[in-house]
Copies of this chain bind each other. A is one copy, B any other.
Amino acid sequence: MLANPIQKEKIDPRVKRTRTLIRHAFDELLAETSFKSITIQSITQRAEINRATFYAHFPDKFVLLQDTIQRAFQQELEKRTLSACHYSDDNLLALIITVCEFIAQSDQHCKTIDSEFDMLVETQVKNQIRVLLEHWLSLTGSEIAPGIAATATAWAIYGLAIYWKHNRSAAKPSAEQFAQQVFPLITANLKMVQPI
Interface residues of A, Cβ cutoff 8 Å to B: 13, 16-17, 48-50
Looking at the complex, which one of B13, B16, B48 makes contact with A13 (CB distance below 8 Å)?
B48
Selected from B13, B16, B48, B49, the residue in CB contact (under 8 A) with A50 is B13
Q: How far does the Cβ of A14 sit from chain B's closest Cβ, in whole Å?
A: 9
**Chain B residues, Cβ within 8 Å of A50:** 13
| Chain B residue with the shortest CB-CB distance to A53 | B13
List the B side residues contacting A17 at CB < 8 Å: 17, 48
Within 8 Å CB of A13, what residues of B? 48-50
- Integer count of this chain's copies in the complex: 2
A16–B21 Cα distance when bound, in Å, is 14
* Bound Cα distance from A13 to B50, whole angstroms: 8
A113 to B152, CA, bound (A): 66
> A50 CA to B49 CA in the complex, in Å?
19
How far in angstroms is the closest Cβ of chain B from A11? Answer: 11
Q: How far is the CB of A113 from chain B (nearest CB, A)?
A: 33
Query: What is the minimal beta-carbon distance from A42 to any residue of chain B, in angstroms?
Result: 16
Cβ of A9 to closest chain B Cβ, rounded Å = 16
Chain B residues with Cβ below 8 Å from A16 are: 48
- Complex: how many Å from CA A49 to CA B17? 10
A47–B132 alpha-carbon span in the complex (Å): 36
Selected A-B contacts with CB under 8 Å, 6 pairs: A13-B48, A13-B49, A13-B50, A16-B48, A17-B17, A17-B48
> Nearest residue in B to A47 (C-beta to C-beta)?
B13
Nearest CB of B to A190, in Å: 44
- Minimum distance in angstroms from A112 CB to a CB of chain B: 29
